[in-house]
Amino acid sequence: MFSGLREKVGQVLVPGDEFSLEVQETLSLTEPLKPEKVLLGPGLKRRGDRKLLVVKSGVLRHKQPHVFWVENHQRRYVPAKGETIIGIITVKSGDVFKLDFGGSEQASLSYLAFEGATKRNRPNVQVGDLVFAQFIVANQHMEPELVCVDSAGRANGLGVFGAGGLLFSVSLGLVRRLLRPRSDVLSDLQKLFPCELVVGMNGRLWVKASSVQQTLIICNLLQSCETMTTAQRQQLFRRAAQGAL
C-alpha cells in the first residue's frame, strides 16, 4: 500500500507531488486482512480518501514502521504541541505572560504554570527574560499556550534561565540535527570546551561558556555548521580546539 511512498524515501520531493495509496487489487481469502496505518509528519497532507499531497520541499524520511515526513529547510517556526521552545517575555499582564517565540503570533504562559507557583507565591519573571517552555496548546485556530511544568508539576528543566549567556538563531533544520539522539554536531562540540547549551525547537539557541570569547566561538561554530559537510565541520572544530586551548 505504501510502496510508492517507500520507494521515494531519501529522495527530494517538491510541493504538489502526489501519492495515491491504492488498495491491493487481489485480496487473499486465506490470510486475515490487516488494516494498514500510516503516520504523516510535517510536509505531508492527506488529500481526499486515498491520496497524499506533499506540501513542503525537502527529503522524504521514514521511520519504522509507518512514519513518514519531509525534512526541509525552514527558518520560520510553526508551533506544534509538545515541542519545547525558547521564548522571550514581552508583556506581563494580569495572570498571564506573553512570549515571543518567533512564530506568527505570541504565546501565552500562565504564571501558575511554573514549578511551585501558587496564587500567593508568584514566580519572579521580568520582561525580556528567557523562558524554556513547552507547548500544550498549538493549533491553527487558537492562541498557542505554554507551560513550564510537566504533568507531575515538576520543572524538569523548564523555566526561566539565561543569565550571562548569548541567544542566537539558526535554521530549524540545524536545531533538529542538534536534538537528534547521538547528534554528530553535539558530540563534536563536546570535545571542545565545557559549555551550557539550551536548544529550542523554534530555532533559538542559548550558549554559555566560561568566557565571552568561548561563548562567541561556540556561537559562531554552531552558526557555521549549517552550511558545512561533516568533514569540513570536524576540521573546523579541530582547529578551534587547537587554537582556543
Partner 1 sequence: MKDTPLSNCERDFLLKAIEEKKRLDGRQTYDYRKMKITFGTDYGCCFVDLGKTRVMAQVSGELVAPKENRPNEGIMFFNIELSPMASPAFEQGRQSELSVKLNRQLERCLRNSKCIDTESLCVVSGEKVWQIRVDVHMLNHDGNLMDAASIAAITALCHFKRPDVGIQGDEVTVYSPEERDPIPLSIYHMPISVSFSFFQQGTYLLVDPCEREERVMDGLLMIAMNKHREICSIQSSGGIMLLKEQVMRCSKIASVKVSEITELISKALENDKRARKAGGRCGFAESMPQERITALKTDETSVEMTDASERANDIVENAEVPPQTVPSPVVPAPGVGQVGQGLQNTWGLEEEEDGDEEEEEQQMEEEQDEKEDSREGDVVEISDSEEEEVVILHPETQDKSSKNAASSSNQKGAETSKQRQKK
- The residues binding partner 1 (CB under 8 A) are 88, 90, 100, 102, 104, 126, 128-130, 162-167, 206, 212-213, 215-217, 219-221, 223-224, 226-227, 229, 232, 235-236, 239-240, 242-244
Give the residue with the Cβ less far from partner 1, 52 or 221: 221
The CB-of-53 to partner 1 minimum distance in angstroms stands at 25
- Closest to 224 (Cα-Cα) out of 189, 196, 197: 189
Give the residue with the Cβ less far from partner 1, 9 or 212: 212
The CB-of-123 to partner 1 minimum distance in angstroms stands at 16
The CB-of-35 to partner 1 minimum distance in angstroms stands at 45
87-126: burial string, b at 16+ Cβ within 10 Å, e else = bbbeeeeeebbbbebbbeebbbbebbbbeebeeeeebebe
The CB-of-89 to partner 1 minimum distance in angstroms stands at 8
Give the residue with the Cβ less far from partner 1, 190 or 232: 232
Which residue type does 33 have?
L
Which residue type does 239 have?
R
C-alpha grid cell for residue 102? 518567533
Give the residue with the Cβ less far from partner 1, 5 or 172: 172
